[in-house]
Amino acid sequence: MNRTRALAVLAAATALLAGCARGGGTPAEPAESRPVTASAPPTTSPSPAGRTPEGTLLVADFGSDTVTFVDPAQGPLASVEVGTAPYGLVVGADGRAWVATAEGVAVVDTGTRTRLALVPYQTATGPVTTGEYRGGGMGIALSPDGRRVYVGVNVPGGDGTLEVIDTTALRVTDRVPVGRRPFDVDVSRDGSEVYATNHDSFDVTVVRADSLRTRRIEVAPYGTEGGLGSWLKPHYTAVSPTDGRLLLPFEGERLVMVDPRTGRQEIRPMTADTHQHGVTVTPDGTLLTVGTGPIDPDTDRGPSLTVRTPDGSERVIPLDGPHEDVAVSADGRTAYVTGGFTRDGFWDGLTVVDLTDGSTHRLPAGSRPLGIAVLQGVLPITPGSRSPVPDPA
């Protein structure tokens, strides 16, 4: 694709762009941006009988106010109300899920499928709404010791914040400014740094976990021409398990590898030639990247899942329709790609990808699912219990 041509076209049509090309301001999807009343103090939802099996999928229903538990072979098992328009989620070693909603961070016992609490944000984000540009939590991550949750909070029309939640006290203890629309939040393996990937400011904010000091690293391999109207922005980041570098894919053409200590960047070619969003990385360093579809249908390829091995070789698996995020089974043989998508074209399910032969099939899964996790060793817990420190091995 001729990105110079694409940038010129996009800059001329900024006011008409929808989806992740837009910045703050009026949402492009008014039908989804209904005002709602902020939820009451944290409550507990009814719990279905039995415990959630290991290997169950948990998805954030961005088109609703729930998370849905999904049997990877059969489909939805149950849903739990968490708060308006849940976006990202993360699950700790104790089986508690932390879900970034428009209202606050919901805490869910995944063993008993019960909401334990809703931790409100300290950042003022305006009225609670739904839709792509709603205020509230987006990316979310846990510290390695399970003691802190870090959530990127979007402030419509302005810079976001990173809020820190104490997982024992269930309250926000700190917050620090980051860039615009923090799509993703990640933590270094040793827990010393937190990384907020800021879509609309073309950057990653590196936050020291001990002092909350920050530094900005611009990540813009195509430049920043077009500003809020540009499509060529960072979306999601994976942290390399081998050297700690940040891995940010762009357009199925370029993988930017950022050293968060120095800001030094290395760019390597990619082959999918499609607009890219969600990423994950396996323990052996294999990177999986979701291709959402073309910017220019005349020149770009359709939706796909790129599987990139540590030596840089890539396998591009075509997908049917737009997707957003991806998780991998514990045995590394299956990928689950959510169909929620942050733009038009989303659907209520996920695609199951056999990573051995590349075959795919669709599975129903909640309402516009975005964030996803595969539950491992799920145990029921009691309200107020703290995540145990995981085995560093």
- Per-residue confidence (pLDDT) for residue 385, from 0 to 100: 35
197 three-class SS: strand
- Has residue 52 been placed in a domain? no
- Has residue 194 been placed in a domain? yes
- Per-residue confidence (pLDDT) for residue 377, from 0 to 100: 72
Q: How many domains does the chain divide into? A: 1
- Has residue 310 been placed in a domain? yes
- Per-residue confidence (pLDDT) for residue 91, from 0 to 100: 98
Domain that holds residue 285: 3-30+60-374
Joined tokens for residue 223: 């430049």
- Has residue 341 been placed in a domain? yes
CATH number reported for the structural domain that contains residue 270 in this entry? 2.130.10.10
- Per-residue confidence (pLDDT) for residue 192, from 0 to 100: 98
- Per-residue confidence (pLDDT) for residue 22, from 0 to 100: 44
pLDDT in tens, the chain (393 residues): 545 444 443 443 343 344 465 443 333 332 333 333 333 333 334 444 568 999 999 999 999 999 999 999 999 999 999 999 999 999 999 999 999 999 999 999 999 999 999 999 999 999 999 999 999 999 999 999 999 999 999 999 999 999 999 999 999 999 999 999 999 999 999 999 999 999 999 999 999 999 999 999 999 999 999 998 899 999 999 999 999 999 999 999 999 999 999 999 999 999 999 999 999 999 999 999 999 999 999 999 999 999 999 999 999 999 999 999 999 999 999 999 999 999 889 999 999 999 999 999 999 999 999 999 999 975 443 333 333 323 322
Joined tokens for residue 303: 């939706």
- Has residue 347 been placed in a domain? yes
- Has residue 356 been placed in a domain? yes
| DSSP sequence for 152-195 | EEE-TTS--EEEEEETTTTEEEEEEE--SSEEEEEE-TTSSEEE
Q: Which residue bears the tokens 């941006």?
A: 33
pTM of the model: 0.88
d(CA 6, CA 230): 9
- Per-residue confidence (pLDDT) for residue 387, from 0 to 100: 34
- Has residue 170 been placed in a domain? yes
Q: Which residue bears the tokens 């998508």?
A: 341
- Has residue 54 been placed in a domain? no
170: Cα within 13 Å, side-chain hemisphere: 20
CA torsion sign for 36, 65, 291, 277 is positive
Alpha helices in the chain (DSSP H): 3-12
d(CA 221, CA 151): 26
